[in-house]
Structures are given as structure tokens and as C-alpha cells.
């Protein structure tokens, strides 16, 4: 296992702990109560366990503990950012930037202090780990990222009940398809899908709703395209 493999695995651990395995109830409770939130403690425990498991190293338990402690501090103080009206819309981006900086910093420090010695050798290389991370990011994490972009630009959610159910599933599906096509170099096919979906959306007479959904579509495909290009460049 290389240093790059460890960083990708820990990025996957972060996506799983902070998005996939964290419910909206937990997230809202943390933002509302900060350090007083009982769900914050459970969330930090999930962060620690997944981080350690995906390191595939016994000694990384120390690094996972440090990551979990910083996660506790960042999420605990996040309430102060939420309460600040000037920067409240950017809470998600500030929060995630801090988490990722801590993640990379702790991994680099661990690499300087201890040898990377996994107890099992992964049967896949760095490129395939990047692909796994890309697909993982294009599921629930990308949904939340797009939602927070709308929030940052103070764009009202149109027909939230429908978007919350069908829209999220459609978004995940189209990003997975787009990412797959990008990885196979089929950029033209992605263009046809975007154009076809845009034409269908503009048949709707509700202009604000159409514009809202179209922006969401472009963001959704944009995330998949950038992710795919990033993976191919890092290869």
C-alpha cells in the first residue's frame, strides 16, 4: 500500500462516515446543539471505526483517534458558524475543507512516524481505488454538495417533497452514468444526455422551477464530469 492509497482510502472513509452513514436527523441535531448533541458522539465513533477499518493497519488506530477528535471539535464548533448569518450559507464548505485538511495532515504525519504496513494487501491498484472513491462521491455526497451550493446562493427549493425523493435518485443515477462514460472516454454521449434532458425540462411551463432543475442538472453532470476527468488525470 502506498501513501496515495492510504489517502484515497481515508477519503472514502470520510465520505462513508460523514455522508453515507450520517442521517439528516444527526446532521441537524449537531448543527442545532453543537457539543451538547448526543448524536455528535455517535457520529464521531462512526468516524473513528470506519477510518481505522479502511486503513487496514493496526497502528493507524492512533491516527484514526486523532482524526476523530478533530472531527468532534470541528463539528462541535460548527454551530457557531451556523449561527453567524454572514457565513452561515458557507458552513458546509468550511466544515468539509477543515475535515479534509485534518485528514491529509494526520496521514502525512503518520507516514513520517510509522511505516505503512497493512495487515492485508489490497487486490486493486491506486487507479481502481480512485474509481471507487469517484463513484462513492457521486452518490449521496454529491447530492448534499449540490444542495449546499443552492443554499450558498440562496436559491429557494422548488417542490422540495418531489426533489427530495425522485430528484436525488435521478441525480445519483445520471452521475453514475456520466462518470462511467467519462472514464471510457465517451464525452460526446454525455453531451447528448445533457442536451436531451435540458430539452425535456424546457417543455415545463413553470419557468422558475425549470431553471432551478436545469441548474441542478448542470451541477450534477458537472460534478460527474470533473470527477471523471480528475480520475483520468491522476492516473
- What is the structure's pLDDT at 70? 96
Between 167 and 121, name the one with better pLDDT: 121
- What is the structure's pLDDT at 187? 77
> Does the structure show a pLDDT above 80 at 158?
no
Among 127, 120, 36, 118, which residue's Cα sits nearest to residue 78? 36
Residue-wise over 186-197: b if at least 16 C-beta within 10 A, else e? eeeebeebbeeb
Q: If you search the block for the grid coordinates 455528535, which residue do you land on?
A: 40
Cβ contact 103:10 at 8 Å: yes
Highest mean pLDDT among 48-52, 157-161, 172-176, 220-224: 48-52
- What is the structure's pLDDT at 155? 66
Q: Read off the pLDDT band of 150 (50, 70, 90).
A: confident
pLDDT tens digits, one per residue of 96-111: 999 999 999 999 999 9
Amino acid at each position: 500500500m502506498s501513501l496515495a492509497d492510504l489517502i484515497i482510502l481515508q477519503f472514502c472513509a470520510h465520505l462513508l462516515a460523514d455522508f453515507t452513514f450520517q442521517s439528516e436527523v444527526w446532521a441537524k441535531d449537531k448543527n442545532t446543539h453543537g457539543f451538547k448533541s448526543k448524536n455528535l458522539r455517535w457520529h464521531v465513533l462512526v468516524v473513528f471505526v470506519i477510518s481505522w477499518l479502511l486503513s487496514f493497519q493496526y497502528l493507524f488506530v492512533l491516527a484514526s483517534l486523532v482524526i476523530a477528535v478533530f472531527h468532534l471539535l470541528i463539528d462541535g464548533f460548527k454551530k457557531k458558524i451556523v449561527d453567524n448569518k454572514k457565513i452561515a450559507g458557507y458552513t458546509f464548505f468550511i466544515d468539509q475543507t477543515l475535515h479534509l485538511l485534518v485528514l491529509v495532515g494526520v496521514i502525512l504525519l503518520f507516514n513520517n512516524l510509522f511505516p505503512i504496513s497493512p495487515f492485508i494487501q489490497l487486490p486493486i491498484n491506486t487507479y481502481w481505488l480512485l474509481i471507487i472513491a469517484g463513484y462513492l462521491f457521486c452518490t449521496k455526497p454529491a447530492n448534499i454538495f449540490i444542495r449546499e451550493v443552492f443554499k450558498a446562493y440562496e436559491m429557494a427549493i422548488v417542490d422540495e417533497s418531489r426533489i427530495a425523493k425522485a430528484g436525488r435518485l435521478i441525480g445519483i443515477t445520471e452521475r453514475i452514468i456520466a462518470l462511467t462514460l467519462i472514464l471510457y472516454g465517451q464525452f460526446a454521449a454525455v453531451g447528448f444526455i445533457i442536451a436531451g434532458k435540458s430539452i425535456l425540462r424546457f417543455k415545463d411551463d413553470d419557468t422558475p422551477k425549470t431553471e432551478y432543475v436545469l441548474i441542478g442538472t448542470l451541477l450534477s453532470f458537472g460534478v460527474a464530469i470533473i470527477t471523471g476527468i480528475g480520475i483520468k488525470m491522476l492516473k
